[in-house]
Structure 1
Amino acid sequence: MNTLTLNWTLPTPALLGIAVVAIGVLLLMIMKFRIHAFVALIVISLLTALATGIPVARIVPTLTGGFGAVLASVALLVGLGAMLGKMLETSGGAQVLTDALIRRFGEQRAPLALSIASLLFGFPIFFDAGLVVMLPIIISVARRLGGSFLLYAFPAATAFSVMHIFVPPHPGPVAASGLLGANVGLVMLLGLVVAVPTWYVVGYLFGTWVGRRYTIAVPTFLQTDDAKQHEFHTAPALATVLSLLLLPLVLIFLNTGLNMLGTAGVVNPDDLWVQLLRMVGETPVALLITVLLAMYLLGWRTRKAPSLVETVADSALGPVCSIILITGAGGMFGAVLGASGIGKAIADSLSAIGLPVVVAGFIIAAIVRIAQGSATVALTTAAAIVQPVVTGSTSLNAVEVVAIVLSLAAGSVFAGHVNDSGFWLVSRFFGMDVATTLKTWTVGQALVGACGFVLSLVIFFVAGAF
């Protein structure tokens, strides 16, 4: 073997063993030896790439590719979202909306109110973008009412998660629907049937229990010193705050709607006006437009000095740099595990067991998710494997096919942990250490997967009985 072009194919047990050891060493480095998560993730990614036989010439491109792919989707959203959140927080807008929510729902139902708002926002907005936009409101409510931050943040974050996993137009269920030939409209309808009860059981019931069990301080990265707070504070009207929160929702939904109309042949997706409107509705562009509008409504229109508006917006970026870098490093680790072939080896082995397709698909997606981290990769891998069985069957009706899609989606979210960039996003945004994130978020995601699978199974067997 030429050590300069290191490359070998390991059997599935060996690949799985390497993944388990890598995750164990990573946790040991972070929790026991207190090595910064960003550094630890890079070290473990490099060692895992060497151990699994990724060609030496491909190791650094794999690391940087995984890092860059996550940053491409996360850095813009977190940066722009943090700017928007800082301006809402510093202007008093978050407090205005908090007061309105508490007046409408009462203090005891504040976590429920935040969750319902997150479910609505989560329809067109991706998990990470939605969480960033809602975070200043969650922080403001938690600071106002007291108690553990998790009591308010966990139910809302889970609401975004279930909508992202189960309900089109999010990319996972749409991709699986395309591979398996499922009706997207029916997936959307039954996806809500699965998502909402799953959120209630896991996000609200389990989340409020977790919030009372683990005391997490309210994050401070959106806070500003008293002088700047007083100088920028305007207590904007509730309508202004709602317009800033709803604008990205409307723009992103515009993109989604035009995409669906193009697929249905109602509009021509190649027309310039369609492409321009879809570009405006892309999440980074929608957030950029919203940030510019916030600068005007909360700053320039109220005769704030442009330098003050710039200072407040700029002050949002420093505290989130660590979040962005650690999230990117989590994507790097996931990319190495994906390139090593761990997910494919496990999926190929499980596909030969002979379980019912709705069960086998869930198990394949769940194990691939645990092994390599990416929910999207787990979902598309499992869908590709069961595709011949589903599309070649003449006995499956339309609802049963949809139930299989939802079962795969449930498996793809199961037990997200240290190889998932979303795990690090939640950990850093919520100010939790790794151990607490594993006990709360990872367990919660496992319950989301389990509840989603049970409901999908019920739909499958009920549909098969008619």
Structure 2
Amino acid sequence: MPLLIVVVGIILLLILIMALKLNTFISLLIVSFVVALMLGMPLENIVKTVETGLGGTLGHLALIFGLGAMLGKLIADSGGAQRIAMTLVNKFGEKRIQWAVVVASFIIGIALFFEVGLVLLIPIVFAIARELKVSVLFLGIPMATALSVTHGFLPPHPGPTVIAGEYGANIGEVLLYGFIIAIPTVIIAGPLFTKLARKLVPDSFTRVGNIASLGEQKTFKIEDTPGFGISVFTAMLPVILMAIATIISLMQKTMNFHEGHFIKIVEFIGDASTAMIISLLVAVYTMGIRRNIPMQNIMDSCSTAIANIGMMLLIIGGGGAFKQVLIDGGVGDYVAKLFEGSSMSPILLAWLIAAILRISLGSATVAALTTAGLVIPLLGQTDVNLALVVLATGAGSLIASHVNDAGFWMFKEYFNLSMKETFATWTLLETIISVCGLVFVLFISLFV
């Protein structure tokens, strides 16, 4: 019965969002209340459960998410992202242009959320394609791959960050293993998959893209942008701080160092929230003050970034409320009993549930959060590495993006593709990322 109720809840969510065109946040709240009632939760507990789920999820994520949005906006508004992209294009040269786009998108993708990175990089990709007389899709697939992989696997992006918080995983370990998984996945789903896509839908590579909807783009003269080194350093700083803290922490555990003040200071600086605050302050200086940009302009960029993510935060909070209803309503425990004594790996189960929910719901973040509600009770029965469960959930939540996902339509419209061509490029690309992610997670699980 509990799983049947979850299915009914998901169908209701699809009807509210797709048929009635209701806002995703409002839809998630309605479904949370309806599912709670159907599960027979005491009336006096339902509102408390929804508030706990919403507050608990946002309490962990809002600080990282908000600071990350501001950091990315400062790098974009200063021309730092354009400097990174154009410098790499010049360094790699025309023959290796795809690899230049991959590396640039990967670096920029760490600092910017998927949709923001897409909107920022697409005009740059179009300009490069026009100049070199190559297909926009030839560069667009590697770009979208790098952005999607960073979005699915690497903190401080909302998906892996919030799932790490829900599972109680070490966010530094998620970052470290995420990098190990992300690099080969980007290579397979980016430049290598482009060759296959060219054979599957050759006509799509002759299309002239359409970015009129993006409006007039802010372009910079290269001499007016921050230096390449400082732009990369600023974009990568949160990752560098978290990675250093994780490596030192792992060394301390394996070599049995005494956990003195130094280790505690390193762990404090490497905490995701602290790393983001430090990185934002560095960006205010490197991308603003150092370049004589008035503080008012710098703060305007920060304010705009926060305004742009307000609804996304509420949607994530709504997903957290639904997740909490599944836990408090006993669905998670039911799933745990169902798989008691089962030999199925929690890694595989998390990927499978996330994949089914992603195909059903469209939103990768909502799919990942709902998966957490079903998988958390299972984790107490196993000694599986929690960071790998986070990455498996993230991989599953990326699979088979189709008509119920905003990313599908963005990719289709910007690259001027037919429905068939979008399925053969974007949907297949996301599926390859998801499957590669799972395979590499299972491989790493053999050693950790």
With structure 1 as the length reference, what TM-score do the two structures score?
0.66
| Pick aligned residue for 1:55 from 39, 42, 52 | 42
Q: Give the 3 Å change call, closer, same or farther, for CA 192–309 of structure 1 in structure 2.
A: closer
Check conservation: 1:365, 1:379, Cα contact below 8 A. Answer: yes
Q: Give the 3 Å change call, closer, same or farther, for CA 29–234 of structure 1 in structure 2.
A: same
Specify the alignment match of 1:416 in structure 2: 397
Specify the alignment match of 2:83 in structure 1: 96
| Pick aligned residue for 2:270 from 264, 268, 281 | 281
Check conservation: 2:146, 2:186, Cα contact below 8 A. Answer: no
Task: Report the secondary structure of 2:296's partner residue.
Answer: helix
CA distance in 1, matches of 2:193, 2:281: 38
CA distance in 2, matches of 1:274, 1:25: 49
CA distance in 2, matches of 1:305, 1:446: 45
Q: Tell me, yes or no, if structure 1 residue 42 matches structure 2 residue 29.
A: yes
| Pick aligned residue for 2:243 from 249, 253, 257 | 253
| Pick aligned residue for 1:142 from 122, 126, 140 | 122
Task: Report the secondary structure of 1:322's partner residue.
Answer: helix
Specify the alignment match of 2:364 in structure 1: none
Count of paired positions: 395
Specify the alignment match of 1:314 in structure 2: 303
CA distance in 2, matches of 1:216, 1:339: 47
* Pairing of 1:218-237 with structure 2 (within 5 A): 234-237=224-227
Check conservation: 2:327, 2:374, Cα contact below 8 A. Answer: no
Task: Report the secondary structure of 2:241's partner residue.
Answer: helix
Specify the alignment match of 1:31 in structure 2: 18
Q: Give the 3 Å change call, closer, same or farther, for CA 243–27 of structure 1 in structure 2.
A: same
- Structure 1 spans left out of the alignment, 5+ residues: 1-13, 122-128, 179-183, 388-400
Q: 1:24-64, CA deviations, whole angstroms, 9 ceiling, x for partnerless residues?
A: 11111111111111111111111111111222222222212
CA distance in 2, matches of 1:457, 1:82: 32
Check conservation: 1:414, 1:445, Cα contact below 8 A. Answer: no
Q: Give the 3 Å change call, closer, same or farther, for CA 80–32 of structure 1 in structure 2.
A: same
Q: Give the 3 Å change call, closer, same or farther, for CA 31–377 of structure 1 in structure 2.
A: closer
Q: Give the 3 Å change call, closer, same or farther, for CA 41–116 of structure 1 in structure 2.
A: same
Q: Give the 3 Å change call, closer, same or farther, for CA 112–350 of structure 1 in structure 2.
A: farther
Check conservation: 1:255, 1:277, Cα contact below 8 A. Answer: yes
Task: Report the secondary structure of 2:288's partner residue.
Answer: helix
Q: Tell me, yes or no, if structure 1 residue 365 matches structure 2 residue 350.
A: yes
Check conservation: 2:326, 2:373, Cα contact below 8 A. Answer: no
With structure 2 as the length reference, what TM-score do the two structures score?
0.69
Check conservation: 2:150, 2:182, Cα contact below 8 A. Answer: no
- Structure 2 spans left out of the alignment, 5+ residues: 127-135, 358-366, 413-418
Give the percent of matched residue pairs that are identical in Structure 1 and Structure 2: 23
CA distance in 2, matches of 1:417, 1:44: 23
Check conservation: 2:398, 2:430, Cα contact below 8 A. Answer: no
Q: 1:47-84, CA deviations, whole angstroms, 9 ceiling, x for partnerless residues?
A: 11111122222222221222122222332222212222
Shift of 1:366: 4.1
| Pick aligned residue for 1:293 from 282, 303, 309 | 282
Shift of 1:341: 2.3
Q: Give the 3 Å change call, closer, same or farther, for CA 205–427 of structure 1 in structure 2.
A: farther
Check conservation: 1:219, 1:431, Cα contact below 8 A. Answer: no
Letter paired with 2:110: G
Task: Report the secondary structure of 1:49's partner residue.
Answer: helix
Specify the alignment match of 2:150 in structure 1: 160
How well do the aligned residues superpose, as a CA RMSD in angstroms?
Answer: 4.9
Check conservation: 1:366, 1:412, Cα contact below 8 A. Answer: yes
Q: Give the 3 Å change call, closer, same or farther, for CA 81–192 of structure 1 in structure 2.
A: closer
